[in-house]
């Protein structure tokens, strides 16, 4: 792997750049971005070696697309149009159905691998990139059978060297399940933040009483709306379904409180308490 092109040098693209450069010091990492200022920042942070444009990907051994999922859907066909027979294109989007669909009949479909590395922080942009972000983290690969065997192998060798745990899934199952363990958490956090901020307008000093528990539950409300709006749009049906289940559970909890059924409230919490054991494997 000599020529690597990364489209979008933010948290994910920049962190991948760092890990790849460490594994392949001779590789040349080219950055592509809509914004010149992002490329300048990425250069000054040593995330990339050179600036490039879309037409340059004809020379790529590997192209990584790490931009918002609506932009990925738009740009992915043009990237595949330009890729060489031995070049590999991967995307790192948080949704997989629309992205896989837009290239399903593309003549170069076999040069594409759809992935979703489940790693990140609530920060964004080149300065958010960190080394080792993907160590021990799950990377979900969709429709692996649609990628040329040699390019599959190349990609998996790289992902494993970076430290990722690989899981295979179809795009529909990915989008459905990720709505529960990622997309819903973000909405929960954003709306919790909103509820308290709205209250603070009338009742000052509320935040002076906030502790680490509050900070933990609203941490994801710091996330980028530019990145998350298209995710919710592409995964609309699944997200609405999870939101409805969540709202029903909250409403049930509220009704139990109104009915003074605190034995049932206790049981609701006790039954969820074994999340302890589940979380042991995660954080």
User: Which of the stretches 29-37, 42-50, 73-81, 112-120 binds a second copy when contact is defined by CB under 8 A?
Assistant: 112-120
Nearer to a second copy, 81 or 233 (CB): 233
192 belongs to the binding site for a second copy (CB under 8 A): yes
Select the residue interacting with a second copy from 119, 125, 160, 170 (CB under 8 A): 119
Q: Restricting to residues 129-168, name those near a second copy by CB under 8 A.
A: 137-138, 140, 167
120 belongs to the binding site for a second copy (CB under 8 A): yes
181 belongs to the binding site for a second copy (CB under 8 A): yes
Select the residue interacting with a second copy from 81, 104, 172, 244 (CB under 8 A): 244
List of residues 6+ apart from 167 with CB closer than 8 A: 138, 139, 140, 141
Nearer to a second copy, 152 or 185 (CB): 185
Q: Restricting to residues 204-243, name those near a second copy by CB under 8 A.
A: 205-223, 225-226, 228-230, 232-233, 236, 239-240, 242-243
Nearer to a second copy, 152 or 217 (CB): 217
251 belongs to the binding site for a second copy (CB under 8 A): yes
Nearer to a second copy, 131 or 272 (CB): 272
Q: Closest separation between CB of residue 280 and a second copy, Å?
A: 10
Q: Three-state secondary structure along the chain?
A: CCEEEEECCCHHHHHHHHHHHHHCCCCEEEEECCCHHHHHHHHHCCCCCEECCHHHHHHCCEEEECCCHHHHHHHHHHHHHHCCCCCEEEECCCCCHHHHHHCCCCCCHHHEEEEEECCCCCCCCHHHCCCCCCCCCEEEEECHHHCCHHHHHHHHHHHHHHCCEEEEECHHHHHHHHHHHHHHHHHHHHHHHHHHHHHHHHCCCHHHHCCHHHHHHHHHHHCCHHHHHHHHHHCHHHHHHHHHHHHHHHHHHHHHHHCCCHHHHHHHHHHHCCHHHHHHCCC
The size of the interface with a second copy (CB under 8 A), counted in residues, is: 93
Q: Hey, what are 124's tokens?
A: 């964004």
Nearer to a second copy, 105 or 271 (CB): 271
Q: Restricting to residues 56-75, name those near a second copy by CB under 8 A.
A: none
Select the residue interacting with a second copy from 82, 106, 146, 177 (CB under 8 A): 177
Nearer to a second copy, 152 or 224 (CB): 224
């Amino acid at each position: 792997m000599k020529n690597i092109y990364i489209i979008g040098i933010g948290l994910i693209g920049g962190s991948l750049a760092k890990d790849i450069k460490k594994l392949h010091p001779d590789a040349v990492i080219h950055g592509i971005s809509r914004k010149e200022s992002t490329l300048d920042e990425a250069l000054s942070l040593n995330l990339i070696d050179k600036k490039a444009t879309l037409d340059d990907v004809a020379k790529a051994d590997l192209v990584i697309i790490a931009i918002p999922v609506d932009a990925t859907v738009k740009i992915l066909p043009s990237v595949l149009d330009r890729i060489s027979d031995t070049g590999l294109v991967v995307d790192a989007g948080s949704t997989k159905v629309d992205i896989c669909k837009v290239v399903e009949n593309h003549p170069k479909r076999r040069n594409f691998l759809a992935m979703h590395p489940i790693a990140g922080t609530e920060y964004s942009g080149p300065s958010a990139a960190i080394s080792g972000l993907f160590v021990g983290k799950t990377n979900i690969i969709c429709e692996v059978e649609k990628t040329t065997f040699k390019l599959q192998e190349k990609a998996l060798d790289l992902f494993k060297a970076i430290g990722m745990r690989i899981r295979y899934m179809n795009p529909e199952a990915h989008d459905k399940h990720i709505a529960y363990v990622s997309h819903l958490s973000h909405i929960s956090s954003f709306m919790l933040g909103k509820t308290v901020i709205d209250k603070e307008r009338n009742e000052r000093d509320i935040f002076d009483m906030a502790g680490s528990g509050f900070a933990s539950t609203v941490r994801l409300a710091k996330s980028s709306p530019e990145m998350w709006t298209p995710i919710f749009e592409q995964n609309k049906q699944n997200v609405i379904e999870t939101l409805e289940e969540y709202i029903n559970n909250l409403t049930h909890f509220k009704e139990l409180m109104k009915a003074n059924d605190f034995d049932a409230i206790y049981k609701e919490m006790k039954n969820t308490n074994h999340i302890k054991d589940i979380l042991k494997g995660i954080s």
